Structure 1
Amino acid sequence: MDKQQRAINIIKSYYLAEEQNDLSDMIKSVCSYFDFMKNQELSSGDIDFLQDLSNSIGIPQYVKLLERDFSANYPAQREISLSTLASYYNEANLTKGGQILHRYQKNVLDMFIVGQNNRFILSAPTSFGKTFIVYEIIKKMRYKNVVLIFPTISLLSENFDKLLSNFSDSFNDYKIHTLSEDDEIAEKNIWIFTPERFLSFTDKHESQQFDFVFIDEIYKIDNEFIIDKETTGENERDIAYRVALSYACKKSNDMLLAGPYMNMGNKNSFANFIKDNNFIVINYNDVEIVNKTITDIKGKKEYNIDGIRIELDENSKYSKVCDIAVRLTNSKENTIIYNNYKSGTERYAKEIISRLNQKKKHFQSDDPIYRMFVEHLENTYSAEWIIVKALKYGIGIHHGLVPKYIQKEIINLFNRGVLLYLISTTTITEGVNTSAKNIIITSSKKGKKILKPFDAKNIAGRAGRFLQHFSGRVIIIGNNFNEILTSKEDELQHKNYDIDSKKT
C-alpha cells in the first residue's frame, strides 16, 4: 500500500473516530502510520500532515520522535504554514515546566486542583507514562511532604536516580529519603519507599502527615488478581500493600493510585473501597499510545512480521524463536524473549549464541560500563557462567535467581541499546521498565500456572516504549497466549472491604 492510500485510510479513520467519540483505535492507526512513514522520504507537506495527525489525537511527541531518531528522512528545511503554527500552539498548551505531555497525561494533571481533596485511581497501559506525570503533579501543586511507594527496590532506585539527575533542578530543594531509619526531616521532603519501608517509617513517626501519596502497581493489594485461583490465602506482600494503603488514606488528603490494565468493576469490594475513601477512577486502559502488532506463529513456513519477511526452516520451537529473534533484532529494535522457566531462559540464550555463530554475527561493544561489568562478573563468578557467556553475545538473562544488582545492570544495558536480547521469566513484569521493540512469547504459563489476562496484557505491554517506538511487535509461538490476552479479566478486589473474604 502506497503513501497516498495510507493517508486516505487514516483520514477516514479519523472522521469515524470523531463520529464515535472514541480515539483509542485512531491512536493505534496513527502509530502504525508513523511506523510506515519513518522509513519514507518526507516532504514538508508530509510533516505538516503528520503534525496535524499527532496533534489531533493529542500526542505531539510522535513528530518529535520522528525528527530525533529518523532525521535522515526528515526534510532539512520546512516551510512555516498556518497549519504549522497551529500545531506549535497545540504543543504549547501541552507543555508544562519545559516538558511536553500528551493529552491524556495533561488531563490527569488538570484534575489536581489546589484547595480541594484530590484522590484518583489511574488505570492505563504500561506505555502511558504514569510515574512521569507524578513529578508534574508535585511541581504543579507545590507539595511539601510527598511519599512515593513502589513495589520493588529496583523501581525505588530508578526513581531515586531520576530525582537526582533528570529532575534535579525542580527538586533540589527537597530532602530525598529512601530508608525508613532516616529521621532527619526537612521543610520539604520526598520519601521513596516500598510498602514495607513506608510501614516501618510510619511506626516510628505516627504523627507525620503528608501532602501527597503516590502508590504504584496498586493491583498488588489483591493476591488473587495476579495468581491463579488454585492459590489460596494471603502473603506478606499483598497484606503490606493493603495496610500501607490504609495508612496512606489516613495520612494524606491528596493521593494517586496507579496500575496497568486494571478492571475495577462497580459493585465489588474494590468499588466499596473507592466509595468509602472518596476516590475518582480515571480509566485510560484503551489509550495504547504505542501500538501493538500481534503475530501468531503456527505451522506455516513463511511469515510477514510488520513488513519483514521471515522464512522458518525448522519445526522446533527453539529454532523458530531464535530465527525470528535474530532476524528482527538490531540496535534500535531490541527483543525480549519471555519464557516461563529459568532453565528455558538459559537454553534460549545458548540457542541464540549458536545461531549468531552460524551466521558469523559477532557482538562487539565499546561501552565502558558494559566492559567493566563483564570483567567484574568474570572475576567475581566465572567466565563459564551462562550469564557471562550470554553477555558477550549481547544477550541478557533475567530471572529470579540472578542477583538483583546484576538484574538491574542487565536492564540498564538493554535499555541503552548495548544488549540486543533480553531473555526473561515474569520477573520482567515485576517493577521493571524496558525499551524493547519486540517481545517473543514462548509460553502462556507462569511457571506451571496458566497466565491470567492481566499478566498477559502486562507481558505484551512490554513491546514498544513511548518516545522510542511508534509500534511494538508481539510474536506468539506455539501457545494460546492470544486467547488469554483477549479473554475476560478478573475484577480487582480489596479483602478488607469484602465481608465474605477469609481474613487471617
Structure 2
Amino acid sequence: MIEEILIEIQNKQSFDFEETFDIYKKCSQLIITNETSAQKIIVNILEDKGKFEPSLNNVLTDLIEAVGFYPYLAKENLQLDSTDSLIRQVYHYSDNLDKYLHEDQKHLLSLLNSNKNVVVSAPTSFGKSLLIEEFVASNKFKNLIIIQPTLALLDETRRKLRKYDENYKIIVRTSQEPSLEKGNIYLFTAERVNEYKGFPNIEFIIIDEFYKLSSQRDDERADSLNNAFHYILKTFNSKFYLLGPNIDNISEGFVEKYNAIFYKTKSSLVDVKTIDIYSEHKEKFNRPIKFKEYKEEILFNLLLSNKQNQSIIYCSSPRRVRYLSSKFCEFLINKIEDTLIEDLDIIEWITENISKDWSLIKLLQNKIGIHDGALQKHITSSVIDYFNNGNLNYLFCTTTIIEGVNTSAKNIIFFDKTKGHNTLIDYFDYSNIKGRAGRLMIHYTGTIFNFNPVPPNEQVIIDIPFFEQNPISDEVLINLEEAEIKDTRSEQYNRIKQIPQNEKEVIKKNGVQVNGQRNIIETIREDIVSDYNLITWTTTPSYEQLKYCLNLGWKFLMKKGESKSLGIGKLVHKTFNYGLHQNLRRLINSDIQNIIECVEYYNLHKNNDSNDLVKYKMSLGKRYRTKNELEIMEEVIMTNFQIQKHWFQYKIPKWLSVINSIQEFVCNEKGLRAGNYNYYTNLIENEFLRENLAILSEFGIPSSAIRKLEKLIPSSMQQDEIIKSIRENKLYENSSFIEYERNKLRET
C-alpha cells in the first residue's frame, strides 16, 4: 500500500477533495501501525503540496503534528488550532536556537539532559549535529571537547559555533591555552586530543562519526580515537555524546559500564528515492574497460537532464574525481552553446598562486566543483560554500562525501563501486552516501541514482576496542592499566608488559606503532655513535639527516597495507625541496620544469642509462613522453597537493615528532647532547608560516593571505589576539589582499 501511495503522489497531477481526504486518511491509519512509513508519505505530500486540496490543510497540519515534524509546520506556515497541539508545539521549541525540534530530536535532547550518556544512530538528515549547537548555546557545560574526523568538518563546526565566543573560547590548535574567565570548546581531531597537555576539567565530550572507533572498519586513525576517548573518560569521567549514522549496535556491555543508552532511530525529515540505473545497463556496466565511455555518457546525460537540481557524484579516488569532472566539463561545453561563466572570487587566487591554466578554473566557471582529501583546506571549504550557496550545480567527490563535510544535494550519483582501487563500498558506506540525497529543510525528498548494484545489507555493530579488547591493537592496549585488561594471560599483553617502563612511557606518549617504535629505539641505540651527527640535528636538517630520519619512519612507522607507491627516495627529495622552496607553487613549477627537461633528455638519449641520475631522468622522461605540458602540469599539481596534505601536514610531522622523542630518550640514556626537530617539524606542518600566524590556516585562510599579514601584525602578538586585531583594525581592507583573501579574512 505504501509504495502505491508514493507512486500515486509522484505521478498524479492533482488530487480533488475526496482523493486528498482518502490519502490523508490512509496516512493517519499508518501513523498507528507503521509511523516510519507514515513519515515517508507525509514528506512526499509536502514535496508536492500544491497537488492537494488546500481546504484540507488543517488535516495535513494534524498529520504533521502527529509524527512530530514541528519544523515543517513553521516552514509551511501551517497553524495548529487546538490548545493541546499548541502546547506540544511550544514544548518542541528551542529557546537557545530559536527554532523547532522534531519529536525524535526532542526525545534525544531529553536523554542528553538526563544523567545518561548517549550513543545515537540516526540517518544523515535527522539533525544530530543540531543538538551539539543546542548544548553550546545552553551554557550547560563549561569545558567541552568535540572530536571530528577531519579538519574540514571541524572548521565547519567552528564557523557554526563562533557566534558563542562571548561565553566560550574556541580552541583549534594544541598551542592554545584554555581561558580561565569563560568556557572552552576544543575542536580537535583525536590526534590533537592525545597531543594536548593542558586540558581543564572536561565536563562533556562529543565524538562525531563515532564508528571510527571500530577496529573492523580499516581506519588507520582508530587507535588515536580510542586512546583519546579512553583518556578523557579515565581522567575526567566526562559525560559523552557519540553520534553516527546507520549503526545497529555497539560492543556488548559498554552501555552498562558507562551508564549510557544506545538510541537508534530511522526517523528522517527527508525521503530518499532510489533509481536503479545499473539493471538496465548491467551487461555493459559490468565490462568497465570496454564500455567505459558508454557508462560515462549515461552519467553525463543524466546530469544534464537534471541540471535544474544540484547533484553530487561519488568517485573512488581523487584521480577519478579529476578525470570525470574534466570530461563532464568538456561534455557540457559541447552540449550547451551559451554557457554562463560563473565568476567566483577564488579564480583570481588560483591564477596568482597555482596557475592560470589549472583545470579547476574551467570547472568552476562551468558550475562544477570537486571535493577530495587532497585539496587545500581553504579550497575545499570555498567549493562547499559555493555549492551550498547555489553557485555550483555539480560536485564530484570521494569518500569525503561521507565524512569530510556536511553537504547534501537533491541528487546523489553512486557512480564508482570502490574506495580507492580495490576496497568495495559496503552497505554501511552506501547508506551514508545515500543519506546525502536531499538537504534538510530545503528538500523534502532526494534521489540516489545507482550505477552499481546495492551492496548486501549487513548488520553494523561497532566494536569499541579499548573496552571490548577483541581485537585490540598494541597501540591501544599499551595505554590501559592492568586493572582494565580483560585477559592478563594473553601473549599480546605479556609482550607489552615486558617493555621497560621508561621505554613504555615514550612509546605511549607517541601513540603510534609499538613494535615500530621499539625498532627505532634499538636502531638509534646502535647508530648513535657512528651516526651521531645524522641523528642529533637541530633547527633545519641537511639532506642526509632528513634521509636518515625519513628512512626510519618509512621502515618502521608505516602501517600494514599502507601505500608505498610514492617511494622513500622521492619522499626525501620532495620534503627536502619543500624545505628549500618553502612555497608550494615554487615546488610545482620546479617539478614541471624538471619533468619537461627529463622528457627532452629521454628523446635525445634513449639508450643511455649509465648511472643512477641518468636512469632517473630516463625513467621520468619515458613516463611523461606522451603528455603535453598542460597534462604534466595537471598531474604535478594533483600530486603535490596530495603530498602536502598527506605527507607534509600529517605523516612527516608525526614521524619526526616520534623520532625526535626517541633520539632525545636515547641521548639522555647515553649521556649525550640530544637534537631538537621541533622547529623544522612545525615549519613543515604549517607551510613555513610564522608561528603566531599559523593558527589562521585552521580558519581556512590561504597561506598567501597569511604571509601578507606578516607585514601588518607583529611577531610578538599572541595568537589568541590575532583574530581580534584583524577584526577591530579591519586589516582585510589593506590593498595588498586580493578579493578572495579579503573575503576569507572577513569571514573569520
TM bracket, shorter-chain basis: 0.7 to 0.9
Q: Distance in 2 between matches of 1:50 and 1:377?
A: 51
Q: Deviations over 1:5-45 (max 9, x none)?
A: 35523431331331x3x4222111111111122x54873x2
Verify the 8 A CA contact 2:80 2:86 in the aligned structure 1: no
Q: What residue number does 1:239 align with?
A: 223
CA distance in 1, matches of 2:293, 2:148: 42
Match of 1:209 among 193, 201, 215: 201
- State yes or no: 1:280 paired with 2:278: no
TM-score by length of 1: 0.82
Partner SS, residue 472 of structure 1: strand
CA contact (8 A) 1:398 1:424 kept: yes
What does the per-residue CA deviation read over 1:281-313, in whole Å, with 9 as the maximum and x for residues that have no partner?
1111x1122100000014659xxxxxxxxxxxx
User: Secondary structure, in 3 states, of the residue corresponding to 2:31?
Assistant: helix
- 1:123-154 residue CA offsets vs partner (Å, 9 max, x unmatched): 11111111111222344462222222211111
| Change in CA separation of 1:499 and 1:94 when aligned onto 2, cut-off 3 Å | closer
Q: Is the 8 A contact 1:54 1:61 kept in 2?
A: no
State yes or no: 1:473 paired with 2:447: yes
Q: Compared with structure 1, are the counterparts of its residues 3 and 500 closer, same or farther at alpha carbon in structure 2 (3 Å cutoff)?
A: same
Q: For residue 400 of structure 1, give the secondary structure of its aligned residue in structure 2.
A: coil
Distance 2:80 2:202 in 1: 49
Decide whether aligned partners of structure 1 residues 499 and 40 sit closer, same or farther in structure 2, where only a CA change above 3 A counts: closer
1:35-74 equivalence runs, <5 A: 35-37=47-49, 39-40=50-51, 43=54, 45-66=55-76
Is this contact kept in 1: 2:248–2:264, CA < 8 A?
no
1:467 Cα deviation after fit? 0.8
Residue 455 (structure 1) aligns with: 429
1:129–1:299: structure 2 CA closer, same or farther, 3 Å change rule? closer
Partners of 1:424 and 1:81 lie apart in 2 by: 42
Query: Counterparts in 2 of 1:70-469, with a 5 A limit?
Result: 82=81, 88-97=86-95, 98-113=98-113, 117-140=115-138, 142-165=140-163, 168=164, 172-186=166-180, 187-201=182-196, 203-205=197-199, 208-225=200-217, 227=218, 235=220, 237-250=221-234, 251-264=236-249, 270-284=251-265, 286-298=266-278, 300=280, 316-330=294-308, 333-357=309-333, 358-360=335-337, 362-365=339-342, 371-447=344-420, 448-469=422-443
- Measured in 1, the distance between the counterparts of 2:138 and 2:121 equals 21
Judging changes above 3 Å, is the alpha-carbon distance between structure 1 residues 399 and 499 closer, same or farther for their aligned structure 2 residues?
closer
- Matched residues in 1 for 2:99 and 2:137: separation? 12
Q: Quote the Cα distance in structure 2 between the aligned partners of 1:11 and 1:144.
A: 49
Deviations 1:60-95 (A, max 9, x none): 22244345xxxxxxxxxx9x7836x76554432210
8 A contact 1:464–1:471 mirrored in 2: yes
The offset of 1:222, in angstroms, is 1.1
* Aligned-partner Cα distance in 1 for 2:64–2:444: 11
Deviation at 1:487, TM superposition (A): 1.2
Question: Which has the larger Rg?
Answer: 2
Q: Which amino acid aligns with 2:150?
A: T
CA-to-partner distance for each residue in 1:394-446, whole Å, 9 max, x for gaps?
Answer: 00012232222211211111111111100111122123111311001112211
Q: What TM-score, normalized by structure 2, do the two folds share? A: 0.56
Distance in 2 between residues matched to 1:223 and 1:81, nearest whole Å:
49
CA distance in 1, matches of 2:143, 2:306: 47
| Equivalent residue number for residue 311 of structure 1 | none
Quote the offset at 1:339 in angstroms. Answer: 1.5
Q: Does structure 1 conserve the Cα–Cα contact (< 8 Å) formed by 2:312 and 2:397?
A: yes
> How far off is 1:349 after superposition?
1.8
Partner SS, residue 316 of structure 1:
helix
Which residue type is aligned with residue 319 of structure 1? Answer: E
In structure 1, what is the Cα distance between the partners aligned to 2:169 and 2:377?
26
Specify the code of the residue in structure 2 equivalent to 1:192.
L
Structure 2 CA distance for aligned equivalents of residues 179 and 426 of structure 1: 25
Aligned partners of 1:51, 1:160: CA distance in 2, in Å?
36
The unaligned stretches of length 5 or more in structure 2 are 1-11, 282-291, 475-748
Equivalent residue for 1:13, pick from 2, 22, 27: 27
Shift of 1:362: 1.2
Note closer, same or farther for the CA distance 1:398–1:271 as it changes in structure 2 (3 Å cut). same
8 A Cα contact 2:344 2:365, kept in partner: no
Greater per-residue helix proportion: 2
Aligned counterpart for 1:492 among listed residues 459, 462, 465: 462
Aligned residues: 444
By relative contact order (CA 8 Å, sep 6+), the higher-ranking structure is 1
C-alpha displacement of 1:500: 4.0
Aligned to 2:527: none
1:401 and 1:149, CA in 2 relative to 1: closer, same or farther beyond 3 A? closer
Q: Does 1:30 align with 2:42?
A: yes
Tell me whether 85-94 or 376-385 shows the greater mean CA deviation.
85-94
The Cα shift of 1:502 comes to 4.8
Shifted more, 419-428 versus 143-152: the winner is 143-152
Q: Residues 382 and 495 of structure 1: is their aligned pair in 2 closer, same or farther, counting only changes over 3 Å?
A: same
In 1, Cα distance between equivalents of 2:85 and 2:51: 22
> Cα RMSD over matched residues?
2.5
- CA–CA separation in structure 2 for the residues paired with 1:494 and 1:125: 21
| Distance change in 2, residues 1:189/1:292 (3 Å) | same
- Pair 61,379 (structure 1): closer, same or farther in 2 beyond 3 Å: same
Structure 1 residues not aligned, in runs of 5+: 68-77, 228-233, 302-313
Distance in 1, matches of 2:307 and 2:146, equals 35
Aligned-partner SS, 2:146:
strand
Q: Deviations over 1:227-267 (max 9, x none)?
A: 4xxxxxx73x11111011112223144211111111215xx
- Deviation of 1:496 after TM superposition, in Å, equals 2.4
In 1, Cα distance between equivalents of 2:80 and 2:101: 24
Contact kept in structure 2, 1:10 and 1:29, CA below 8 Å:
no
1:501 matched to 2:515? The reply is: no
8 Å contact kept, 1:414–1:435 = no
Sort the Cα spacing of 1:497 and 1:175 in 2 relative to 1 into closer, same or farther, 3 A.
closer
Contact 1:214 1:257 (C-alpha < 8 Å) held by counterparts: yes
